Amino acid sequence: MDAKAHWNVIYERRASSQLGWFQPHLRSSLDLISRAGLSTSSPIIDIGGGDSTLVDDLITQGYEDITVLDISPAALARAKARLGPNAERVHWIESDILQAELPSRHYDLWHDRALFHFFIQEPSRAAYVETLLASLAPRGAVILATFAPDGPSECSGLPTSRYGHQDFLHSFGHGFELEASLHEDHTTPSGTLQRYAYAMIRSMHAA
């Protein structure tokens, strides 16, 4: 089963509140976003956003240029249905991030809560980083959340890599600095504890 089919099956068979990563509000992400120094007009992209409620909270906070990218049309359809008329205020991209065509040097904030750790092979990680570097604005911020070193080794039937905060810098090479980090103990809807590592890194590349 390819990646699109895999994730479509998951979203078609389970309600949002039954998904292991579900949170009513992504408070750790929102905390880091608040520290990123953005204006309400800053372009933001949520990678692998699925039907996450992050977009709802960003709209509520007044952000005007929000993009949600996900490989699953079922996930995006569910998010659009939940938002109703507000869905028209969001740019939606149905694509595998490794094949996505994104605007060059555009996004002031790149947010990814637990997609990056599914890229367990170096070629796919390198392709992800290449896409990010090409589309991130000068001095742009990147917020990543993955399973922590003591977190799960798989999710939704797929193997994952686990990261500590400094590991993010190693993955992205030179030209980034760590601005903020935190740990999160997330309890899944089924009651399982999952440990996440969050980091906000900043591009040092000038315009």
User: 10-31, pLDDT tens digit by residue?
Assistant: 888 877 777 767 888 999 999 9
The 10 Å Cβ neighbour count of residue 16 is: 18
DSSP reduced 3-state for 40: coil
CA dihedral for 133, 111, 56, 64, sign (positive or negative): negative
Tell whether the model's pLDDT for residue 173 goes beyond 70. yes
User: 61-100, pLDDT tens digit by residue?
Assistant: 999 999 999 999 999 999 999 999 999 999 999 999 999 9
User: 125-161, pLDDT tens digit by residue?
Assistant: 999 999 999 999 999 999 999 999 998 898 888 899 9
Structure tokens at 157: 């039937």
Structural domains in the chain? 3-17+26-203 (3.40.50.150)
What value does the CA radius of gyration of the chain take, rounded to a whole number of Å?
16
Q: What is the pTM of this model?
A: 0.94
C-alpha to C-alpha distance for 152 and 150, rounded to whole angstroms: 7
Residue ranges of the alpha helices (H) in the chain? 3-13, 27-34, 54-60, 73-83, 122-135, 165-172
Q: Which residues of 141-177 are buried (b: 16+ CB within 10 A; e: fewer)?
A: bbbbbbbbeebbeebeeeebbbbebebbeebbeeebe
Structure tokens at 148: 């922590």
